[in-house]
């Protein structure tokens, strides 16, 4: 098919990095690449970004902290920045406000051009390299062609794999292929299914509900064992309204949507009209018409992450991301698995954290193709853990950072293995966590004389930004406390970097029903205001005063020669004490 140039518009783009798909993996990849100096296009087929986390699907971001059952394992970096902004700006947990926050990250990031409502439908090759990709933008009836040095596929469906001829897999590996005990004996094409979620709202008066004639009818609670049984009607949401694992997870989506709507409405009809569920005053508030997908194509990269890698905690030298969710392997029959007497999912234990290698984020055969998120290179078993969005975000930030660094150096992604230390340090300095790794603190920070008004300040330069085991890796400050670096002589300081206390030991989630201990507003221990003074010619002078802070990772420009730098905590959001995980001068 050729696009009629007299009818439709054509626009060409020339960039360093093109990211396809703006789920959490793609959004973070694009933002990270742009912040590392790359010119970036983010091509995304929906009007809102965030993929399954957006208002179109409303899936909650989970990760290695497993709703805080594993303390201090929350993903930091850009994801923490977004979640803290959501705590600050979205007290009602509105998905529209959340959409706006994600949209702002993509739309107003310098160096980043989002192409929304634009579906990637083609790739033009130059041998084993992608030269450009083509996208069709429905709102403008425009064909966009994006030439880039590096392409990062975060489409979930790995759309560039068949388009570029990269190796991929769909379905479950046989147990013997990678010696995975949780894999089926025979390989098959089955996947985890997709879901149309819904939510309800409570009113002061009874609310009737009349289902359309096409909805399924579930008369008794026994028809819905996952709802009334172990998972509860309200507590765990409706993730088990799942289909598609035994169909084609891409080409059958429209038909599966129809079936999912019949089931979802049938469940709501049951709750309202056919059982005793105390739902008289509840009304259907929202129903997702875009099925949220769990699994489709997965790339085969330089390394395929397996169950055994995860169980061994992923001790890779090229670790660039981490996970920690259980291997949460949903039954391919999804909703109908109950009729087979099977559970909707089996949670196979996994360590948290486990490392994810860089080699799982780039293609073996296509020289300039990277990927992140649920389509990264992992077996079905491993992906049943890595697919949660905290982990996808961690992979996305790593892939975007690597793509920008590779593009700047004129390297293929694979060659970044020769620059691994720099990639890992860039991620750590951006406040990503990499298990067992620490920041190589600059000589300026390391050799300065450190003093505090009280307590041991040394942990602020030990290079670890969170409590690990029994070690806090932090200096504990009260309001009015200060920490100072003094240099032997007047020294040019460009930036002060702080990693502050955002209560990683607590849970952050989008809705309030999930866990009682979750943060509903900014954590009390987070510094709301602080200031920075420098000493020049023996005199102290304030160079920055920050109030209304809601971030954990803060960079403050100083840009002058100084004899000493001092950071003072003025006020927290209510706690008596706050921990400082890093105070670096560069």
Residues of 350-381 as b/e, b for ≥16 C-beta within 10 angstroms? Answer: bbbbbbbbbbbbbbbebbbbbbbbbbbbbbbb
Least CB distance to ligand FAD at residue 566 (A): 41
Least CB distance to ligand FAD at residue 163 (A): 9
Least CB distance to ligand FAD at residue 52 (A): 3
Instruction: Between 157 and 533, name the residue whose CB sits nearer to ligand FAD.
Output: 157
Least CB distance to ligand FAD at residue 319 (A): 19
Least CB distance to ligand FAD at residue 326 (A): 12
292 is written with which tokens? 């949220």
DSSP code of residue 105: H
Least CB distance to ligand FAD at residue 106 (A): 12
Least CB distance to ligand FAD at residue 247 (A): 15
From CA 460, how far away is CA 471, in angstroms rounded? 12
From CA 562, how far away is CA 495, in angstroms rounded? 12
Least CB distance to ligand FAD at residue 439 (A): 27
Cα four-point dihedral sign 312, 313, 319, 323: positive
**Under a CB-based contact definition with an 8 Å cutoff, are residues 61 and 168 in contact?**
no
Instruction: Between 109 and 137, name the residue whose CB sits nearer to ligand FAD.
Output: 137
From CA 364, how far away is CA 359, in angstroms rounded? 9
Beta strands, E only, 473-552: 475-478, 482-499, 527-536, 539-547
Instruction: Between 144 and 579, name the residue whose CB sits nearer to ligand FAD.
Output: 144
Least CB distance to ligand FAD at residue 36 (A): 19
**What residues are paired with 492 via a beta bridge?**
561
CA nearest neighbour of 50 among 29, 82, 23, 19: 23
Instruction: Between 109 and 119, name the residue whose CB sits nearer to ligand FAD.
Output: 119
Instruction: Between 65 and 311, name the residue whose CB sits nearer to ligand FAD.
Output: 65
DSSP code of residue 274: I
Residues that bind ligand FAD (CB under 6 A): 20-21, 23-26, 43-46, 51-52, 59-62, 119-120, 154-157, 159, 194-195, 197, 239, 292-294, 373-374, 387-390, 392
From CA 231, how far away is CA 438, in angstroms rounded? 39
Instruction: Between 237 and 266, name the residue whose CB sits nearer to ligand FAD.
Output: 237
Instruction: Between 83 and 566, name the residue whose CB sits nearer to ligand FAD.
Output: 83
Residue 272 belongs to what H/E stretch? none
Long-range contacts of 34-38 (CB under 8 A, 24+ apart): 34/109, 34/110, 34/111, 34/112, 34/404, 35/109, 35/111, 35/404, 35/430, 36/400, 36/401, 36/404, 36/405, 36/408, 36/426, 37/111, 37/404, 37/408, 38/111, 38/403, 38/404, 38/407, 38/408
Least CB distance to ligand FAD at residue 89 (A): 21
CA 362 centroid distance within chain: 18
**What residues are paired with 169 via a beta bridge?**
298
Instruction: Between 135 and 463, name the residue whose CB sits nearer to ligand FAD.
Output: 135
Instruction: Between 388 and 434, name the residue whose CB sits nearer to ligand FAD.
Output: 388
From CA 123, how far away is CA 433, in angstroms rounded? 34
Instruction: Between 60 and 175, name the residue whose CB sits nearer to ligand FAD.
Output: 60
Least CB distance to ligand FAD at residue 159 (A): 4
Instruction: Between 225 and 455, name the residue whose CB sits nearer to ligand FAD.
Output: 225
């Amino acid at each position: 098919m050729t696009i009629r140039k007299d009818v439709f518009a054509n626009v060409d783009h020339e960039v360093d990095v093109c990211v396809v798909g703006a789920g959490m993996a793609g959004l973070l990849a694009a933002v990270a690449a742009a912040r590392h100096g790359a010119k970036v296009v983010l091509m995304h087929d929906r009007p809102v970004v965030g993929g399954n986390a957006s208002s179109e699907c409303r899936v909650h971001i989970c990760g290695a902290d497993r709703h805080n059952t594993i303390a201090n394992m929350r993903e930091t970096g850009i994801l923490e920045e977004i979640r803290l902004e959501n705590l600050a700006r979205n007290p009602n947990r509105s998905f529209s406000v959340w959409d706006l926050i994600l949209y702002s990250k993509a739309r107003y990031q310098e160096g980043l051009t989002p192409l929304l409502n634009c579906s990637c439908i083609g790739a033009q090759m130059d041998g084993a390299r992608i030269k450009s990709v083509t996208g069709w933008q429905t709102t403008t009836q425009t064909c966009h062609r994006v030439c880039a040095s590096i392409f990062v596929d975060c489409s979930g469906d790995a759309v560039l794999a068949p388009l570029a001829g990269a190796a991929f897999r769909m379905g479950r590996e046989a147990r013997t292929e990678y010696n995975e005990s949780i894999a089926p004996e025979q390989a098959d094409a089955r996947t985890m299914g997709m879901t149309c979620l819904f939510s309800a709202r409570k009113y002061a008066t009874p609310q009737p509900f009349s289902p359309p004639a096409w909805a399924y009818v579930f008369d008794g609670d026994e028809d819905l064992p996952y709802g009334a049984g172990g998972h509860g009607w309200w507590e765990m949401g409706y993730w088990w309204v799942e289909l598609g694992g035994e169909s084609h997870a891409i080409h059958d989506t429209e038909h599966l949507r129809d079936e999912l709507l019949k089931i979802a409405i049938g469940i709501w009809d049951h709750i309202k009209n056919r059982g005793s569920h105390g739902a008289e005053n509840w009304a259907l508030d929202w129903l997702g018409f875009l099925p949220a997908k769990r699994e489709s194509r997965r790339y085969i990269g330089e390394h395929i992450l397996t169950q055994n890698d995860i169980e061994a905690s992923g001790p890779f030298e090229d670790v660039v991301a981490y996970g920690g969710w259980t291997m949460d392997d949903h039954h391919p029959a999804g909703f109908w698995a109950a009729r087979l007497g099977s559970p909707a999912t089996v949670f196979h234990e996994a360590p948290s954290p486990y490392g994810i290698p860089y080699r799982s984020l780039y293609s073996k055969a296509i020289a300039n193709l990277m990927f992140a998120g649920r389509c990264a290179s992992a077996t079905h078993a491993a992906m049943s853990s890595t697919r949660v969005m905290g982990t996808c975000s961690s992979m996305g930030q790593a892939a975007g950072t690597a793509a920008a660094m590779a593009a700047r150096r004129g390297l293929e992604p694979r060659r970044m293995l020769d620059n691994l230390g720099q990639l890992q340090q860039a991620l750590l300095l951006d406040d990503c966590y990499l298990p067992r790794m620490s920041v190589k603190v600059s000589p300026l920070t390391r050799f300065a004389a450190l003093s505090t008004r009280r307590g041991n300040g040394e942990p602020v330069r030990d290079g670890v930004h969170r409590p690990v085991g029994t070690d806090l890796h932090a200096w504990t400050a009260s309001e009015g406390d200060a920490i100072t670096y003094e240099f032997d002589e007047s020294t040019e300081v460009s930036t002060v970097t702080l990693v502050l206390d955002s209560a990683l030991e607590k849970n952050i989630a989008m809705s309030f029903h999930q866990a009682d201990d979750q943060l509903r507003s900014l954590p009390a221990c987070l510094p709301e205001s602080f200031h920075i003074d420098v000493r020049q010619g023996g005199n102290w002078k304030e160079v920055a005063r920050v109030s209304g802070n809601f971030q954990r990772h803060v960079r403050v420009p100083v840009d002058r020669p100084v004899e000493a730098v001092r950071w003072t905590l003025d006020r927290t959001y209510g706690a008596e004490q706050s921990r400082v995980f890093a105070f670096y001068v560069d």
